[in-house]
A and B are shown apart, each in its own frame.
Chain A
Amino acid sequence: MAELTRIVLAGEGGQGVQTVAEILAEAANEEGKQALYIPNFGVEQRGGVSVAYVQISDRQIGAPKFQTGDIVIALSDRAVHRTQKYVGPQTTFVYDSTIQGLEGELPENAGEVLPIPAVEVAKKEFHPRVFNIIILGAVVGASGVITLEQAKAAVEKRLGYKFTKQPELRDLNFRALERGAGMAVRRAG
């Protein structure tokens, strides 16, 4: 893993990007890494693009926000527009390929562009409610900041109380996590 990984997650309110960012940062912290997570927030209570900034490092982390992300994940058409400015030649840009009408809208300067059919997979293979877990898997797959096992432990910590009541949910979430990780494997590795 690189010394410092910068991740931008963006989507519509309700898609769970802040939850994914929080689970990821907490999991990294649990592993003894330095982690910093900051949500964007404004006066609006609902609507608007929700953006989360996560930095994970072995060393002390600087400013909470940054100019260019190593991994930028956009989960809606508005999020694709909103996150263009965080993309640079070293950036892996991940977007949901279910989004229509993105011809010519994807960042041309990205190091790599990874389409992932997360919405479709969530709907057809799992359940729409595990969409954010698929995304967490994709972030883990693309960034490698934590291992899949560590991600599972973080999900267990977060949703364990639900799993106790409905054990089949554990399997559903873990499979969604693995599926997400498998979708976002970078060419460069």
Chain B
Amino acid sequence: MSQKVISAEKRAFMTGNEVVAWAALAAGAEIMYGYPITPQNEIMHYWTRLAPKYGRSFLQTEDELSAGFTTAGGVMAGRKAFTATSGPGNTLMQEPMSMAEMMRLPTVVVVQQRGGPSTATVIYSQQEVTLTTIGGNGEGMRIVYSTATHQELFDYTIKAFNAAWKYRFPTFVLGDGYQAKMREPLTIYDPAERGIGMVPPEPFVGKEGIPGEDRPPAQYRNTFNLEEELYEKVMADVSEYEKIAPEVAEFQADGTEDADLVLVCHGVVFRAVREAVAKLREQGRKVGYFRPVTLRPLPVRQLREMVGKAKKILLVESAYGQLARLFKEAAYGSGTEILTLFRPGLGITAGEVEAKVKEILT
């Protein structure tokens, strides 16, 4: 287990799925549970190739329900466990992740979004935002990182394990089919070499001592008899989630101070937006961008500050308003005009963004 996965920092050129497998290894993940679905398959493939070399394990389950529940079981046994899925698999994953939310289990799920609804395409979308952030029959007490580059895929997969084990809320890395399949350079490293300490896992069950005397009893329930009892439990989680939200929330912004128009986006679409904003700035247009890295929790304070100053907002996403719904809820009360560029299941290029901005700012 203590064997170093990455001895020295190095530049790599690989697919996003391979990046996730390396990051999970570097983060000290001990076991992956999974069921194949495009476009995340290669996470499993690379993991099964690499894991035995470092004494890690893999279990292929019969479906995503099982992959989710075994991941929950793995963390209860005190193992850093994770799974990866996409599309219809993510739909099934909601049932076990609801249980993880209820029992406060530090599960890590990597989602490579594909087109929806249903089987749709195996290619790409940003249509799993609602599902990943607030899916399941609960209150969406989850942490969701939406990545844009291979470097972020590596960094945030490592971070996801720490966030999960520190805060004990189910944690997700939200990628997409483009990120899964494309190749680009990144630097892979051992977290310790960068001064990143990994939160050690600990078992939830089978602990030493007498419950109630030496330690609190291990009561991990997902069933309640009384409304009041459930209310108390959910409200305690909500209040803890709201308390940690400001320190978990991350974002990236530029040029928002004097902007006539601020573009809001997340994930891989940010690449097109950043490119378009740089070009438009060169042409003397006052535009900026605001990109939440965490979609749950959103960086609400900074988002509201930005909206308060912005003249207009343009929401850009490869879905029909899934980021927009989260954004508008957080921005509620502001009179700033919100415009949209929605391309459900379709990639967005910098050229399209630039054209749309020019149409708005004529």
Q: Is A38 an interface residue (CB 8 A)?
A: yes
B184 engages A63 (CB within 8 Å): no
Among residues 137 to 158 in chain A, which have CB atoms less than 8 Å away from a CB atom of chain B? none
B351 engages A39 (CB within 8 Å): no
Interface 9-residue window, one of B197-205, B266-274, B301-309: B266-274
Mask: chain B, 163-196; 1 = CB below 8 Å from A; 0 = not:
0000000000000001001111100000000000
A41 engages B122 (CB within 8 Å): yes
One of B123, B178, B181, B184 near A35 (C-beta < 8 A): B184
A41 engages B275 (CB within 8 Å): no
A64 engages B268 (CB within 8 Å): yes
* B351 closest partner in A (C-beta): A67
B349 engages A25 (CB within 8 Å): no
Q: Is B258 an interface residue (CB 8 A)?
A: no
B182 engages A63 (CB within 8 Å): no
* B149 closest partner in A (C-beta): A60
B183 engages A65 (CB within 8 Å): no
Min distance, Cβ B350 to any Cβ of chain A, angstroms:
5
With a 10 A CB-CB cut-off, give which of B183, B269, B352 has the most chain A CB atoms. Answer: B183
Q: Is A102 an interface residue (CB 8 A)?
A: no
With a CB–CB cut-off of 8 A, which chain B residues contact A37?
182-184
Q: Is B39 an interface residue (CB 8 A)?
A: yes
B185 engages A29 (CB within 8 Å): yes
Among residues 330 to 362 in chain B, which have CB atoms less than 8 Å away from a CB atom of chain A? 347-352
A62 engages B123 (CB within 8 Å): no
Q: Is B121 an interface residue (CB 8 A)?
A: yes
With a 10 A CB-CB cut-off, give which of A26, A34, A36, A62 has the most chain B CB atoms. Answer: A62
A42 engages B123 (CB within 8 Å): yes
Q: Is A163 an interface residue (CB 8 A)?
A: no
With a CB–CB cut-off of 8 A, which chain B residues contact A64?
178, 182, 268, 271, 347
* B179 closest partner in A (C-beta): A64
Among residues 1 to 49 in chain B, which have CB atoms less than 8 Å away from a CB atom of chain A? 11, 13, 38-39
With a CB–CB cut-off of 8 A, which chain A residues contact B38?
41, 43
Min distance, Cβ A169 to any Cβ of chain B, angstroms:
25
Among residues 52 to 72 in chain A, which have CB atoms less than 8 Å away from a CB atom of chain B? 61-68
A65 engages B122 (CB within 8 Å): no
Mask: chain B, 221-248; 1 = CB below 8 Å from A; 0 = not:
0000000000000000000000000000
A25 engages B122 (CB within 8 Å): no
With a CB–CB cut-off of 8 A, which chain B residues contact A12?
none
Q: Is A22 an interface residue (CB 8 A)?
A: yes
With a CB–CB cut-off of 8 A, which chain B residues contact A22?
183
Which range contains the number of A residues in contact with the other chain?
Answer: 20 to 34
One of A35, A41, A42, A62 near B350 (C-beta < 8 A): A62
B349 engages A66 (CB within 8 Å): yes
* A44 closest partner in B (C-beta): B122
Mask: chain B, 263-283; 1 = CB below 8 Å from A; 0 = not:
000001101101110000000
Given contacts A38-B181, A39-B181, A64-B271, contact A26 B13 (CB under 8 A): yes
With a CB–CB cut-off of 8 A, which chain B residues contact A25?
13, 183
With a CB–CB cut-off of 8 A, which chain A residues contact B347?
63-65
One of B121, B185, B269, B276 near A34 (C-beta < 8 A): B185
Min distance, Cβ A32 to any Cβ of chain B, angstroms:
9
Min distance, Cβ A54 to any Cβ of chain B, angstroms:
10
B348 engages A61 (CB within 8 Å): no
With a CB–CB cut-off of 8 A, which chain B residues contact A43?
38, 121-122
With a 10 A CB-CB cut-off, give which of A22, A64, A67 has the most chain B CB atoms. Answer: A64
B121 engages A42 (CB within 8 Å): yes
A61 engages B274 (CB within 8 Å): no
> Bound complex: CA of A63 vs CA of B274, how far in Å?
9
Among residues 1 to 58 in chain A, which have CB atoms less than 8 Å away from a CB atom of chain B? 22, 25-26, 29, 34-43
With a CB–CB cut-off of 8 A, which chain A residues contact B39?
41
Min distance, Cβ A72 to any Cβ of chain B, angstroms:
15
New A-B contacts (15) at CB < 8 Å, excluding given A35-B185, A37-B182: A35-B13, A39-B181, A40-B123, A42-B122, A61-B184, A62-B274, A63-B272, A63-B275, A63-B347, A63-B349, A64-B347, A65-B178, A65-B347, A66-B351, A67-B352
Chain A interface residues toward B at CB < 8 A: 22, 25-26, 29, 34-43, 61-68
Could you list 30 A-B pairs, sorted by A, with CB under 8 Å? A26-B13, A29-B11, A29-B185, A34-B185, A35-B183, A36-B183, A36-B184, A37-B182, A38-B181, A41-B39, A41-B122, A41-B123, A42-B123, A43-B38, A43-B122, A61-B184, A62-B272, A62-B274, A62-B350, A63-B347, A63-B350, A64-B178, A64-B347, A65-B178, A65-B347, A65-B349, A66-B349, A66-B350, A66-B351, A67-B352
7 interchain residue pairs of minimum CB distance: A62-B275, A63-B272, A38-B182, A29-B13, A36-B184, A67-B351, A62-B271
